[in-house]
């Protein structure tokens, strides 16, 4: 999945959002957009991820 992000020239965006694990899935989907033979996450899956992101983004957990 990371290789697809890199090949789609989305690596800089990935690096900018390193602290947000949800962005990995969003960027992957963006990277494979329009490539019919490559699996991607369904709209429902992305919607569920966005709901989880919204729920947990307010709970900042510091790195140790």
Residue 28, in any domain of the structure: yes
Q: Return the pLDDT at 57.
A: 80
| Residue 9, pLDDT score | 97
Q: pLDDT at position 18, please?
A: 87
pLDDT tens for the 64 residues of the chain, in order: 999 999 999 999 999 998 899 999 999 999 999 999 999 999 999 999 999 999 888 655 554 4
Structural domain for 40, as ranges: 2-57
Residue 63: inside a domain: no
Q: What is the pLDDT of residue 63?
A: 43
Number of domains observed in the structure of the chain: 1
DSSP the chain: -HHHHHHTT-HHHHHHTTT-HHHHHHHHHHHTTT-TTS----HHHHHHHHHHHHHHHTS-----
Query: Is 43 inside any structural domain?
Result: yes
């Amino acid at each position: 999945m990371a290789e697809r992000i890199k090949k789609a020239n989305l690596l800089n965006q990935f690096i900018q959002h390193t602290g947000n694990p949800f962005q990995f899935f969003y960027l992957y989907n963006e990277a494979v957009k329009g490539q019919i033979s490559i699996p991607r996450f369904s709209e429902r899956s992305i919607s569920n991820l966005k709901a989880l992101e919204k729920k947990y983004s307010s709970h900042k957990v510091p790195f140790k």
